[in-house]
Structure 1
Amino acid sequence: MGMRGVLGVGLVGALLSGCAGTATYERDAAPTSAEASADRQQTDAEGTPVDTALTLAPPTADTVTVTDWDAIRARLDVPDMTSEDPITDRNAFWERVRTEAVTLTAGELSAQASRLELDAGFTRDDVDWEAHWTGPDGPGWVLGMRPDLDMSLVEQATRDGLLPQDARIDGRLVIANGARSGEWAEAGELVEGEPEATYLRRGCSPLRDALGPDATVEDQDALLAKHDIAALDALRQYAVTFAGDTATAHLGQGRDDLQARAALGDDWPRTGPIGWPDAFGDSTANPGAGSIELTVRNEVAATGVTLNGELPFAVCNEVTPMEEPTGL
């Protein structure tokens, strides 16, 4: 990809924090193969990472993101990597993640990478997947730890203040500000398979927000001259999934506006230093599946555009006139 690595700043910078030294903890005996198998069955019984995350997202959450580190490790040919692997190998993996994967998070444990390495006995390399949500009741998250990790290490880290004191442990899950409400379950029906990263949002993006903070009246007018946004159907919720250099926008079946929503990207203006034209390339509507297939041009740009809601296909079907600059 031509732009890969050019925009490697911001969110994923935290993924590069290294850690070294001799650990001061002692690991308990590793679980037997039978115990590990039982743990995996218990985890699998909860469903996919997306399914599990959506059972924990609070009813008031606006967005939910899920990053499947295990899926990314598998594609990058290190499926069994854990904190017990050499640190040079682990740092090499995170360096590749920076430019070869859309992750939607820098990793909840990345900020404490060095302390966890030295004092806890586990690191971000022991997280199989993680989810984050935002909303009026505050942010929250859940970590899905690897099945054969000694969870007493995680419990001790919480007592030692390496994890939030209000984080609770439920089997292999570490949860902060989560509640098993199940009110997000319907959104999970939009997602198929087990993608590397998933972004789910309730509602649509107002056109002004989707165009980006630097958009001008001229930008909006030029777009509206080619596309009748008011004629689009209402959008109640949507999901975007990522796997390698492809992405899929899931808007739901039975829509008559998929072609029109996909076409918006062809004329979407560049309104800032990083935007839609940098993040995504070709788009193809799939009405039967209720989705739009997208090519990822740059992983870092795609991450930022998605998290900011600057997605043409997700715009609301209402247009609010922009105020002309006064020059004052």
Structure 2
Amino acid sequence: MISRLAAGATVALLVTTLAACSEDQPAGSPPAPTTTATADPEFDVRDEAAAAVMALVPSSATSLTVTDLERIRLQLGVPDLTGRSPAADRADFWARAGRTAPLLTDGQLRPADARLARDYGFTQDDVRWEARFDGPDGPGWVLSFRLGVDMTAVERAVRDRVGPLAGAEVRAADRLVVVGATDDATQSWAADPAVAALAGSPADATYVERGCVEPPAGVDAGDLDELEVWSVALQGQLATARLGELRSDAFDRMRLGETWPGNRPAFSDGFRRGVADPSSGRVGYQVVDPVVAAALVRTRTMPFAACAD
């Protein structure tokens, strides 16, 4: 149970965070963009997970899910956990992560961990972050490996078609294993400023979608403006949704969560105490349960992303 004091502090942080996105500017000038795509985008391993993967997601994709496992290990007090750690320690991490962390992806390599550890010397616990995307051209995924992993061993596992690695491609220079990722960043999400601007802040998990969420029957979305792309980032007790700059409907979208119908878990079981900033197009919430919040994101129970009537 979050105390009133803690809840109040969380709301204050939400307000401060959103306010920081729209510093005072000269009258009549538009808000400064938070992120812009470069003329020649490229993958950079130093970027935050969701920002880094943008250069690998094909432009035709419609959704992206990212889990920063390195950040989650740090928050759970095991930043040095690797595939060579004792099996009991690794199992304990995943058990605790399943109970407390906003896992939007559940570990691409975990089904083959035992064989990978025995025959190749690496496991899911050597993955820094993982991402999955989908769209009309089919699904794909990306794994980013930590420094110290022998990428020749990863290449052998891919050649041997071990579990989910069957059919994958190793990009050893960038310490990546990919399926369906583009090798031309100018044809990726990173080349689209509207999409690239919605990801990149530090987060345990991030979801980005090109499109909107069809509201259930009975929900009045008549006062909403059109929404073409949106994201939500989960970090600790905070969730930040980005809808694009200058959203006059930001408050209306934020309030939809108060009456959004549906089965349990309801939106309010994962997110509460919303705040909004129309100038930056951001909506913030207190995360009351990270596991429930992640489940709601995975099922797209995101009222703020409703399609306009």
Question: What TM-score, normalized to structure 1?
Answer: 0.75
Which residue pairs with 1:258 in the alignment?
Answer: 250
- 2:44–2:52: 8 Å Cα contact kept in structure 1? no
Greater mean deviation of Cα atoms: 138-147 or 305-314: 305-314
* C-alpha distance after superposition, 1:49-68 (max 9, x if no partner): 22221111112211011111
Tell me the CA shift for residue 89 of structure 1.
1.5
Q: Which 10-residue stretch deviates more, 177-186 or 97-106?
A: 177-186
How far has the Cα of 1:303 moved from its partner? Answer: 1.8
Q: Residue 27 of structure 2 aligns with which residue?
A: none
Moved over 6 A (4+): none
Specify the SS of the correspondent of 2:118.
helix
Contact (CA 8 Å) 1:100, 1:244: kept in 2 or not? no
**Deviations, residues 61-117 of structure 1 (Å, cap 9, x unaligned):** 110111111111111121121112222222111111112111211111112122222
Partner of 1:183: 188
What is the distance in 2 between the residues matched to 1:284 and 1:100?
24
Q: Distance in 2 between matches of 1:236 and 1:248?
A: 17
Q: Which residue number in structure 1 is paired with residue 167 of structure 2?
A: 166
Length, aligned pairs only: 262
2:131 matched to which residue of 1?
Answer: 131
Is 1:66–1:132's contact at 8 Å kept on the other side of the alignment? Answer: yes
Q: What CA distance in whole angstroms lies between the structure 2 residues aligned with 1:138 and 1:113?
A: 25
Instruction: Answer whether contact 1:129 1:144 (CA < 8 A) is retained.
Output: yes
Q: CA deviation at 1:46?
A: 5.5
8 A Cα contact 2:161 2:167, kept in partner: no
Cα distance change, pair 43–87 in 1 and its aligned pair in 2 (3 A) = farther
Give 3-state SS (helix, strand or coil) of 2:230's partner: strand
The separation in 2 between residues aligned to 1:63 and 1:43, in whole angstroms, is 19
Deviation at 1:193, TM superposition (A): 2.3
**What one-letter code is carried by the residue in structure 2 that aligns with 1:233?**
D
- Match in the other structure for 1:280: 271
Q: Is the 8 A contact 2:54 2:196 kept in 1?
A: yes
Using the aligned pairs only, state the percent identity: 37
2:228 aligned residue (217, 220, 236): 236
User: Aligned ranges for residues 1-328 of structure 1 at < 5 Å?
Assistant: 1=1, 47-162=47-162, 163-170=164-171, 171=173, 172-179=175-182, 180-181=184-185, 182-185=187-190, 186=193, 187-208=195-216, 220-221=217-218, 223-224=219-220, 229-269=221-261, 271-318=262-309
Does structure 2 conserve the Cα–Cα contact (< 8 Å) formed by 1:261 and 1:313?
yes
Which 5+ residue runs of structure 2 have no aligned equivalent? 3-41
Unaligned 5+ segments in structure 1 are 3-41, 209-219, 319-328
- Normalising by structure 2, what TM-score? 0.79
Hey, what's the Cα distance between the residues in 2 that align with 1:44 and 1:204?
A: 29
Q: 1:300 aligns to what SS in structure 2?
A: helix
In structure 2, the partner of 1:28 is none
Q: Decide whether the 8 Å contact of 1:275 with 1:301 is kept in 2.
A: no
